[in-house]
Structure 1
Amino acid sequence: MSADQLSLYLDLEEGQKADLEVAARAAIALTATVREIAAFIDPFSDVKLELIDSSEGSLFLNTKVRFLSAAGPKEMTLYAVLFVCLTWIGTSAVGFVVEKIEDHVWEQAFGKDFAKLSDDDKKDIADLVARAIEANAGKKPSERLYAELSQDPAVKGVAVTKDRNKKPSSIVPRSEFASRSGGAVRNERVIQRRTTRGIRKVILVSPVLVPGKRRWKFRIGKEEFGAPVHDTQFVDAVLSGKFPIVMKSNVEMTVDLEVTEELNDGHWEAMDYNVWRVLGAPVQFQGEQTSFPLDKK
């Protein structure tokens, strides 16, 4: 197992697929975590994570860590960087006390590579790990990773591992995502909205017969919604009696309708409506109903 191998493991609910956008943001947070740790341990280092491939089932994102410093590649420093990463995105910190790392934690983290490390190697790595953890290097971006993954209900656990061929033995459960996220990243999440505008046929449910921007109630199909009518010419005509709208059921109007939607759990949901112009509406005159397009002279 090479020192530069690192996989982000997402434990998924049975039969579920990971949200691609969430997984991508989590991978970016992992990259930021590794870079921040490396910058603390070796300020002259340059780190790049390269995606090798991914495995399905529960999702493995397998990467290769390119680590260079002014003095060239340093395997021991890379081990320290990856160990701190495993500490924040996993449960390896359980075996970490002051400047000593228990043998079973080494083996859990590095597998067969553990046997190649001398006592001096382990002491050097432990010293680097101790200083990085004390300084919270990489902790903030790792919190962002948990916050991002909490947005996907398909993800029930996460881990970072060096062995891409088997499920990690130490997985952080979803129940710990909130406490590990720091609680602030949810507010940083960008809300995705879109606005569409076009000519629509709507059914008038209830008008507002007082001045102001109160919402008239309309219906399209079975969906009712409220919208202010910004067409002052039409509203003034209705309120003054110059345009007596028909007071009956299923009154159809033609309007310039703007709809603002928000992306929520992969689905667009209508959040706001505005009627900018009324292009046609039935008018009652001597008992007759006719279409009355207000834009015609």
Structure 2
Amino acid sequence: MDEVADGDNGELSLYFATEMGELADLEVAATAAIQWAQGLRAAAAVVDPTCLYRVSLVAAKPGSSNWIAKIERSGPNQAVKRVVEGWKKVPAILRLAMGLAVVIPTTAKPTLDYWLGDDGFTETQKRELRELFEKASGAETVKAHRKAMYQVAPRDKKITAIGTGIPEGENWKPRATIPANQFPEADGLFELEEDKQKERTIPQVLEVVLVTPRLENAPRSWTFRQEGLPGTFNAVMRDKRFLAELDKSGIRERLRANIPMTIRLEIKQQLVGDEWKVARQGRSVVEVISPSVD
């Protein structure tokens, strides 16, 4: 882990995916990047506590998809013996493990081998990276920064995914990315609960656009989409008050395309193997916040 390949400049990228032609909000991206940088240092403290680490911003500009940081270390970090070595580049294996630990949720599926792809790592390097990743990603300090990063990112609906990796050229994109529809749950979506529970319910409040209503007073599946995110999702309308008012024409809204709604959602998940999956008809609208009723 102490060897650094020739030509390796010690960089790591935090990548914000957006729709073609869209730019990420600078303030949101910068705030998320701060949590990422603090998470990298927390991960470093877990896997290599004898050294000091610093994360320096190398390149980023308003709207940039790639935020490039340089990670360096100096050590040993001891109470009596201060820093005695100059700052040195962090090896690629350690650097990538730290980045993945902050961005990829613990025990995420598919396996870590998927995130690595065919990037030239040997089996020995993959094993070392996996061990470092597992050690760092499960630390409470790393989890806290990962959670904070994914709480900030949804403020910019143009950000469709977050990823990390070792940058390779101007148009490089990382293989390891988490899509925006997993941001609200990214700090725990794939984690096994300590009590080994097989089911859980996750509440959310979402700003959505109505795609397909079921105009009857009954718990039926409605279709919605979120602005800036591809695809749609279905959820059973279970707000009895809203359905009753719908039956009496008491909803303050006219029939038109792209009706905006604010809904309180409950997502029921089941543990299948090591992965949490949405149960059949597991999404329910438990309250329609807007449009309001008479």
Q: TM-score, normalised to structure 2's length?
A: 0.49
Larger-Rg structure: 1
More helix by share: 1
Q: TM-score, normalised to structure 1's length?
A: 0.49
